[in-house]
Amino acid sequence: MRLPRGLGHFFWAAVFLVVLPLAQAQDTTSSVSDPSVASVASAPTCRPSDLGSLSCTQHCVLNGYPSCDYCNTPCAPTCRPADQGPLSCTQVCILNGYPSCDYCNTPCAPTCRPSNQGQLSCVQLCINNGYPTCDYCNTPCAPACRPSNQGQLSCVQLCINNGYPTCDYCNTPCVSSLQSTETSTAIACQ
């Protein structure tokens, strides 16, 4: 005996609606309940510089790492800061207990080209200093403040034209030396 044509499609649709979710649920429960399938990521080898010991331990526990011993070993930087020479860098490295001081042999490259330096002289200086890359020479450093004789809108336009990474300095007008002299003279006259 055959079902009418319209009911046959309805029957198979009902079968798939019931059987398919049950089959999927059975697969997920078997893989979740099997402890050999569950995996825990391996813990880092050192504590990141942005985490203190306590927050590192909290991070370790929350991530379910098997051991939090890495929180006792701070990660060494990847390059020597610009304000440190090789000797002072090595001293700081030893004082911080870094496992290796090799980073002291590689100076950190600046993030932008000084405004008083052209691209060619920047690249020459970069090569002489042994920086790993000279990409920063393509990005001029933005000034610290907006010239007092310049409006904010024209400052932003000039900033964009010069290719500065940020135009935040346009919000801070520079204090001219004439204004500071007048202020100090007025204070002295009182």
pTM of the entire predicted model: 0.42
What does the block give as tokens for 166? 């940020």
With left for phi above 0 and alpha for psi between -120 and 50, is residue 143 left, alpha or beta? beta
Convert the pLDDT of each residue in 98-117 to its tens digit: 878 898 988 888 888 887 88
pLDDT at 18 over 60: no
78-88 average pLDDT score: 86
The alpha carbons of the chain give a radius of gyration, in whole angstroms, of: 32
Could you give the 3-state DSSP secondary structure of residue 140?
strand
Flag the least confident range among 13-22, 119-128, 158-167, 174-183.
13-22
Distance CA 32, CA 38 (A): 7
116-165 pLDDT, tens digit each: 888 899 999 988 888 878 898 988 888 889 988 999 999 999 988 888 87
| Domain parsing of the chain, residue ranges | 42-75, 77-108, 109-139, 142-176
What is the structure's pLDDT at 143?
Answer: 87
Q: In whole angstroms, what is the distance from residue 93 CA to residue 104 CA? A: 8
Confidence of residue 181 (pLDDT cuts 50, 70, 90): very low
pLDDT of residue 178: 57
Q: What b/e sequence results for 32-48 when a residue is b if at least 16 CB atoms lie within 10 Å of its CB, and e otherwise?
A: eeeeeeeeeeebbebbe
Among the ranges given (7-11, 63-67, 79-83, 166-170), the one the predictor scored with the smallest mean pLDDT: 7-11
What pLDDT does 48 receive? Answer: 82
Give the model's pLDDT for residue 12.
Answer: 62
- Res 190: pLDDT: 43
Classify residue 64 as left (phi > 0), alpha (psi -120 to 50) or beta.
Answer: left
